[in-house]
A and B are shown apart, each in its own frame.
Chain A
Amino acid sequence: MAENTNAAGEVAAGAPPGMPQLNPDYFANQIFWLIITLLVIYFVLSRVALPRIAAILAERQGTITNDIAAAEDLKAKAEAAEAAYDKALADARAEAQRISGETKAAIQADLDVAIEKADAEIAAKASESEKAIADIRAGAHDAIKEVAKDAAKDIVALMGGKADAKSITAAVNARMKG
């Protein structure tokens, strides 16, 4: 190990002493190649790389601007379409309302006519029935009168009297009225 350290020390001593950075023998070489490197990088960048990247960025900026304009166009179109759709919807709704109103009115009219007719028929039927009832009632009245006259004549005959038809009728009529 000690030999190793010594050997390493000898290597360091064999090379020019101290830091390699401070060895003036190396300066010219480094400076020469550095200047060549910088020139090459500068020409590569200024001739090829930077114009190309600038062009790419400019092109992208243009594309983005165009795309934004196109997107705005499309948005305007979409808004117009939406307005048209809304209008169509409102129209359709109004139309539907109108049609339903008309239908309702027509139905109402038909209904009214039908109800009127039905009312008239009902009224006719009712008056007919009333007439029939009145007839029946009148018929019943006359029959009762007849029966009463006959009964009264029989009763008078049974009591031994003789009754003329005229006075019996008058008496029965008076009673029936009362």
Chain B
Amino acid sequence: MADEAHGGGGLSFHPMDQFEVKALFGGSDIHWYTITNVTLWLALAILAVIGLLVLTTSKRDTVPGRGQSIAELMYGFVYKMVEDVTGKDGIKYFPYIMTLFMFILCANFLGLIPMSFTTTSHIAVTAILGFGVFFAVTILGFVKNGASFLGLFWVSSAPLPLRPILAIIEIISYFVRPVSHSIRLAGNMMAGHAVLKVFAGFAQVAAIAPVAIIGVMAIYGLEVLVSAIQAYVFTILTCVYLKDALHPHH
């Protein structure tokens, strides 16, 4: 009891330890080429994508089996999303969007394995994804539409005096996009995993351990849902930004 009075005592929470990047083959220096646990789990994500989409379809059955159904389901899901949101002319960017979706989905789910490392919980990773989408979409918008891409910020359906104000708001929201796009994913992943770790920390106290373990189970179920939904949200927002680049006029 004296321990508990001693600033948290028996409970020791280290919710952030799981996000630590470690070199796999010794050495404490992390250079850009060092093989770390990031490398390992990114490689596993590649294997998961290959396993889900390539190995399952190797038989090319006309009547699909279980694995092939999943692959076709994902293909159809993303394809329909791209087609619905961006229209017919967005279809040619489908492989890029499918890459993003499959990578985020597999990385999120792999991160849910106990003792694993969640690559998408790192802002460095999601920032590359988010800013990659941002720059790609902006450059594409200027290449496709030229200067008229700036019409995106000039809301022609609003009354004339309001338009400059709206333009400022639109420009701010345009530049906030990549930030919110990447932080949303990283934040969701980080928050969920930290909460899991905190609940697991409560299990150290025998009296509340059953409640804590039930809590971990419940949060884990929620996290499975969040992993899928965040992959979906990231992808559909990418589609929305792509639509803005292809058709900048509201």
Binding site for B on A (CB under 8 A): 1-2, 4-5, 8, 12, 15, 19-23, 25-38, 40-42, 44-46, 48-50, 52-57, 59-60, 63
Q: B31 interface residue, CB < 8 Å from A?
A: yes
Selecting from B97-105, B149-157, B225-233, the interface stretch reads B97-105
Q: B112 interface residue, CB < 8 Å from A?
A: no
Q: B68 interface residue, CB < 8 Å from A?
A: yes
CB distance A29 to B12 under 8 Å? Answer: no
Selecting from B120-128, B173-181, B240-248, the interface stretch reads B120-128
Interface residues of B in 104-126 (CB under 8 A from A): 119, 121-125
How far is B72's CA from A30's CA once the two chains are assembled, in angstroms?
A: 31
Selecting from B3-11, B159-167, B213-221, the interface stretch reads B3-11
List A contacts of B75 (CB < 8 A): 50, 53-54, 57
Shortest C-beta distance, B109 to chain A (Å), equals 15
How far is B167's CA from A161's CA once the two chains are assembled, in angstroms?
A: 175
List B contacts of A20 (CB < 8 A): 16, 19-21, 122
Residue pairs across A and B with CB atoms within 8 Å: the count is 144
List A contacts of B62 (CB < 8 A): 56, 59-60, 63
List B contacts of A21 (CB < 8 A): 19, 121-124, 186, 190
How far is B74's CA from A54's CA once the two chains are assembled, in angstroms?
A: 12
Known contacts A21-B122, A29-B32; A44/B54 CB under 8 A: yes
CB distance A52 to B20 under 8 Å? Answer: no
Q: B239 interface residue, CB < 8 Å from A?
A: no
Binding site for A on B (CB under 8 A): 3, 6-10, 12, 14, 16-17, 19-21, 30-34, 36, 38-39, 42-43, 45-46, 49-50, 53-54, 57, 60-62, 64, 68, 71-72, 75-76, 94-96, 98-99, 102-103, 119, 121-125, 128-129, 186, 190
A and B contact pairs by CB, cutoff 8 A, 15 listed: A2-B3, A19-B16, A20-B16, A20-B21, A21-B121, A21-B186, A23-B21, A27-B124, A29-B36, A33-B42, A34-B128, A45-B49, A45-B99, A52-B54, A59-B62
Shortest C-beta distance, B64 to chain A (Å), equals 8
CB distance B57 to A53 under 8 Å? Answer: yes
Q: Which residue of A lies closest to B9 (CB)?
A: A1
Which of A2, A32, A37, A46 touches B103 (beta carbons < 8 Å)?
A37
Q: For A2, A33, A57, which residue has the most chain B Cβ atoms within 10 angstroms?
A: A33
Q: Which residue of A lies closest to B42 (CB)?
A: A37
Known contacts A2-B3, A29-B36; A56/B57 CB under 8 A: yes
